[in-house]
Structure 1
Amino acid sequence: MAQVIVVGGGLAGLSAAHTLLERGANVLLLDKQPFMGGNSTKATSGINGAGTQSQQEQGIPDNAKLFFEDTKRSARELARDDLIRVLTGRSGDAVNWLQDKFGLDLSQVARLGGHSQPRTHRGSAQFPGMVMTYAQMERLEDLAVSNPERVSIKKKARVVKLLKDEQGSVIGVNYTHSGKTETAYGPVILATGGYAADFTENSLLKKYRPEYYNLPTTNGDHCTGPSSPHWFGRPNDPEAKVKFLAAEALRGVGGLLLDNQGQRFVDELQHRDYVTGKMWENGKFPIRLVLNGDASKQIEWHCKHYVGRGLMKRFESGEALAKEMGLKPEVLKKTFDVYNAGVNAKKDPFGKKFFSGPDWTMNDYFNVALMTPVLHYTMGGLEIDDEARVVGKDGKPIPGLFAAGEVAGGVHGANRLGGSSLLGCVVFGRVSGDSAASYLLQRIGPLAEKAAGRLGAVAGHLGAEPSKPAAAASSQAPAAPAPAAGGAKSFTAEEVANHNKKDDVWVIIDGQVLDVTSFLADHPGGEKAILLYAGRDATEEFNMLHDPKVIPRYAPDCVIGTVKK
């Protein structure tokens, strides 16, 4: 069968690719990065879903209608009801699909800002975005090896032109790869992400939202496109243009936002654009996100990760926190007492309606981070309809062209609810895959019927295979190369510590020494994530974020030896 071309290897593109395989289509995936994943791997709070298996098991009375109303309220004047209905109506199926097809743990359900019900799903370990993206990415890569006639993946491939026929239908692309310009034919799904890291003088950001142009961003350098309240500030690098994203779940589990006088100034569970506005209005920076012991336990893995990166700091008492803030302990105690009184009376002075955990006391431990508004995402560039077809200037769908993810406008309106970013990618990735596969079959004409039986059998084998846990699915990945006996190189920790510069970076992971100098520019999380551990043992941090197979799969050549015992 003819192929569909998917441009972009983030969660939207990967979801589209797997859906195409389920529908019996062949897939050519083109990604401009050396590693797929995009910003999807950075998503830390979870994925929204209404009426999911996990919600039903926990007795959460949620449904698509409630989710629609919450999303419409958040989207405000820029709402597209038809797209919101698709997003919310297919949300439960999207979460169940991830659990059933890829064996993912999405059993923990939380309530984030702007949601009337707990509906943001995540598992007990690792960042949800990374888990979802890697599971799909590795499955697709395995299929590209075992069934290359059905799946082809080309990385470091940049699409430079859409090809059209005389009727204006998109029939393929020109792309550059390995120094050559190549041509591929087929319907096209664009899943190329946003532009929130484009700080050039002619960027869309500067043209359309110049008031946000000077803000830092959480996006990777590859995102060349509103404002979110969630950034972790590094005390030793406050002016950095690229910031680390703080999970909305930190507010969702009960974190409080305090200004430099130790005072609350906002309902922490309001929409992110509302919270951002209150930050600017208050103006008493630095603003801190404070989690007490109970909130920290609910999201322990995140806190451990952020503390390890120097993005959060743990304090063993309220007195210690007050000292850090330059306040008298009684000032912080009064803030806690006023908050507790509002919780108990169910009458918060800032209108907060949902609370969790016991009373806040000074005799507790706290995880704390500095916060500031950032550019977290852009929404749009292409208009789509409810079948993920790209709409032209004449208001009609462009035949053969589809879009999903952050590049598509109108899905989230003026403000995206926390937990709906990954959802938008999965839902509209699947919608675009369905639509492109149907379009392809229609274009094939009379041959479609003859091929239907064979295609169905192939789809059942490749795309709709029984679910199996992600770890089990990749159990055949090659083991990390061990240094050869006799010629094995080993290094002391002191020797590794000497390689701690940007042009000479070694790290230790699980007793192996890796030279990651040449890998810096290719690392999906950015070079800073590696440089933080230059010359050090990064085992704990690495294993918190990655499966053990990541090194043998993506960086086997980086292993240069072992650590001397």
Structure 2
Amino acid sequence: MSVIVVGGGLAGLSAAHTLLERGANVLLLDKQGFMGGNSTKATSGINGAGTQTQQEAGIPDNAKTFFDDTKKSARDLARDDLIRVLTGRSGDAVNWLQDKFGLDLSKVARLGGHSQPRTHRGDAQFPGMVITYAQMERLEDLAVSNPDRVRIIKKARVTKLVKDDSGAVTGVEYLHNGKTVTEHGPVILATGGYAADFTEDSLLKKYRPELWDLPTTNGDHCTGDGQKLAMAIGGHGIDLEKVQVHPTGLVDPNEPEAKVKFLAAEALRGVGGLLLDNTGARFVDELQHRDYVTGKIWENKKYPIRLVLNGSASKEIEWHCKHYCGRGLMKRFESGDALAKEMGLQPSVLKKTFEDYNAVVRSKKDPFGKKFFSGEWKYDDVFNVAVMTPVLHYTMGGLEVDPESRVIDTKGKPISGLFAAGEVAGGVHGANRLGGSSLLGCVVFGRVSGDSAAAYLLQQSSAAIAKAGGRLGAISSQLGTPSAGKKEEAKPAAGGSSSSGKKEYTLADVGQHKKKDDVWVVVNGEVLDVTNFLPDHPGGEKAIMLYAGRDATEEFNMLHDPKVIQRYAADSVIGTLKK
């Protein structure tokens, strides 16, 4: 019997790897054609207190300080026992990612609401994508090399939780290839939130109808599936009205009304970016909590709101700026005069804004309450600038869980055999989540749920063995814990270059295929027909359509390891680019 993990984002993947470490077998079900979920979009990093990276940098952080920051951000509406798990296991979670998966998390930033720099990322790609892909590739390799331990089924939509006469969850029913399939085993729900729940039974519309018309950063898979499945069998939903609106969604000048928007990483403000209204003035502490900044944007009402990075801030987070500029979501200006012209302001107005801010930096007395600064600004500088809008981003509400990630029913009792991790679980972040704690919640509670489900499976197996009176040796060996420090053996996925013997195409040929029902792109000299891959792309269709009929090599290499084409989209390679 396997533990069934529902959801292939970071929470589900962390649960799966922990289950394997504990000797349990795993069946992972994901309703998308490509795993990763919203975790791949996380751009700022993962929080951790007392990590190896912080110690090496001399940052005096600890779990108690992180607990206090989280509790304050939550407006005292989160549960202390869950905050203690989140913050107390945060350092170990970051170290686990570095040690087990060899990840670079050597840079630490201070985001809004944090009293210490504790949001970890590496030098290059979006940290959410790097962390999630590392776990995803390891698990997929294990599914090839050790299929008795790991099974992964994609495009499998779970429709029902199966219970026995005692009320314990004993499996799931799911739809796959038009058929209903039943699998048995304890269940970990890791299906994410409901910040894109525009379905007929929408949790978003039921609990926060006034936010219904806002754009969202979430993929269309975030429809509250896990919450609805568990509540249908008596699971208790809590804090479902607590929906986080992020202040900085990027407005695409070509599609300003688009429902789904890319998120401007909070790290852009963490490195010193300023928010300016249409008069060129600041109106808020840029490092305040997300809900506070959003409220000030709505209160100020002087649109458009621009996020402005000076030269030093742009250099600090150069990769993000290059990425956003490449997508047409951010513009680079070579001087203050050019920026003032773009904003429709006299140069003297923008100069005064910078001069006033420099006086604040020197005095440390900001009329908006800012406490942490990244140096003074020059008018004669380069600037990276984007238009911002508040966007639906994260749902703090979800299923009630205990510190062991067990789902609690409406009578306050754990539902046997049912666990939850990640955004599907409520009560962790209260009224407002701190930046960098989304990935952290996935890893921490993914690992907690994996531990708990593995222990539960062992208990159930032991009880069955005692009742049957035999087979102890065979089953216990199957469930035996690997020796300390030993990692699973992983073999590379099979397959070589799929472009051998393919036709050659010119860039002009590729340019003829740029509609949604006929999309070609060029990546590293290979021509790809990605029409059928559009709905499976974890970054959404728009991320591909921006490069339809074009050479997407530079953008692709910024975000991906080149081997992901062979691994996930080998069938899309139809030829090579003619030189």
TM-score, normalised by the number of residues in structure 2: 0.93
Is residue 2:482 matched to residue 1:459? yes
Does structure 2 retain, via aligned residues, the 8 Å contact 1:196–1:223? yes
- Counterparts in 2 of 1:354 and 1:474: CA distance versus 1, 3 Å: farther
Offset at 1:466?
A: 7.9
Offset at 1:331?
A: 0.3
Does structure 2 retain, via aligned residues, the 8 Å contact 1:22–1:460? no
Alignment counterpart, residue 363 of structure 1, candidates 375, 380, 384 = 380
Determine the structure 2 residue equivalent to 1:332: 350
Offset at 1:402?
A: 0.3
Alignment counterpart, residue 438 of structure 1, candidates 455, 463, 485 = 455
Letter matched to residue 532 of structure 1: L
Offset at 1:176?
A: 1.4
Alignment counterpart, residue 394 of structure 2, candidates 358, 371, 377 = 377
Deviations 1:184-210 (Å, cap 9, x if unpaired)? 111100001111112235311111011
C-alpha separation in 2, matches of 1:243 and 1:490 = 35
Offset at 1:364?
A: 0.4
Does structure 1 retain, via aligned residues, the 8 Å contact 2:82–2:427? yes
Is residue 2:408 matched to residue 1:409? no
Determine the structure 1 residue equivalent to 2:327: 309
Deviations 1:405-457 (Å, cap 9, x if unpaired)? 11100011100000000000000000000011111111112649746873576
Determine the structure 1 residue equivalent to 2:119: 120
Offset at 1:482?
A: 2.6
Determine the structure 1 residue equivalent to 2:231: none
Deviations 1:327-381 (Å, cap 9, x if unpaired)? 0011001000010001111111211101113x20111000001001010011233
Is residue 2:214 matched to residue 1:215? yes
Determine the structure 1 residue equivalent to 2:292: 274
SS in 1 for 2:87: helix
Q: Any residues of structure 2 matched to 1:188-199 within 5 Å, and which?
A: 188-199=187-198
Offset at 1:499?
A: 1.1
Determine the structure 1 residue equivalent to 2:541: 527
**Unaligned regions of 5+ residues in structure 1, if any?**
468-472
C-alpha separation in 2, matches of 1:280 and 1:68 = 29
Determine the structure 1 residue equivalent to 2:140: 141
Does structure 1 retain, via aligned residues, the 8 Å contact 2:12–2:421? yes
C-alpha separation in 2, matches of 1:451 and 1:479 = 38
Determine the structure 2 residue equivalent to 1:517: 531
Matched-pair identity in %: 78
C-alpha separation in 2, matches of 1:466 and 1:112 = 35
Letter matched to residue 161 of structure 2: L
Does structure 2 retain, via aligned residues, the 8 Å contact 1:228–1:376? yes
Determine the structure 1 residue equivalent to 2:557: 543
SS in 1 for 2:283: coil
C-alpha separation in 2, matches of 1:62 and 1:389 = 30
| Count of aligned pairs between the two proteins | 554
Deviations 1:457-508 (Å, cap 9, x if unpaired)? 66349x94189xxxxx786663332332xxx411111111111111111111
Is residue 2:239 matched to residue 1:206? no
Alignment counterpart, residue 286 of structure 1, candidates 304, 319, 324 = 304
- Counterparts in 2 of 1:31 and 1:251: CA distance versus 1, 3 Å: same
- Counterparts in 2 of 1:133 and 1:517: CA distance versus 1, 3 Å: same
SS in 1 for 2:359: helix
Deviations 1:241-296 (Å, cap 9, x if unpaired)? 11111101001000000000000000000000000000000010100000000000
SS in 2 for 1:77: coil
- Counterparts in 2 of 1:299 and 1:452: CA distance versus 1, 3 Å: farther
- Counterparts in 2 of 1:464 and 1:369: CA distance versus 1, 3 Å: farther
Deviations 1:151-183 (Å, cap 9, x if unpaired)? 111101111111111111111111111221111
Letter matched to residue 75 of structure 1: A
Bigger shift: residues 278-287 or 167-176: 167-176
Bigger shift: residues 400-409 or 195-204: 195-204
- Counterparts in 2 of 1:542 and 1:80: CA distance versus 1, 3 Å: same
- Counterparts in 2 of 1:144 and 1:72: CA distance versus 1, 3 Å: same
TM-score, normalised by the number of residues in structure 1: 0.95
Does structure 2 retain, via aligned residues, the 8 Å contact 1:52–1:93? yes
Is residue 2:439 matched to residue 1:422? yes
Does structure 2 retain, via aligned residues, the 8 Å contact 1:479–1:549? no
Determine the structure 2 residue equivalent to 1:470: none
Q: Any residues of structure 2 matched to 1:348-359 within 5 Å, and which?
A: 348-357=366-375, 359=376
Alignment counterpart, residue 500 of structure 1, candidates 514, 521, 524 = 514
C-alpha separation in 1, matches of 2:570 and 2:113 = 44
Letter matched to residue 208 of structure 1: Y
Does structure 2 retain, via aligned residues, the 8 Å contact 1:111–1:252? yes
- Counterparts in 2 of 1:460 and 1:551: CA distance versus 1, 3 Å: farther
Does structure 1 retain, via aligned residues, the 8 Å contact 2:79–2:427? yes
Does structure 2 retain, via aligned residues, the 8 Å contact 1:477–1:552? no
Letter matched to residue 418 of structure 2: L
Bigger shift: residues 196-205 or 59-68: 196-205
Q: CA RMSD in A?
A: 1.7
SS in 1 for 2:395: coil
Does structure 1 retain, via aligned residues, the 8 Å contact 2:192–2:222? yes
Offset at 1:548?
A: 0.8
Offset at 1:62?
A: 0.3
Does structure 1 retain, via aligned residues, the 8 Å contact 2:277–2:303? yes
**Unaligned regions of 5+ residues in structure 2, if any?**
225-243, 467-471
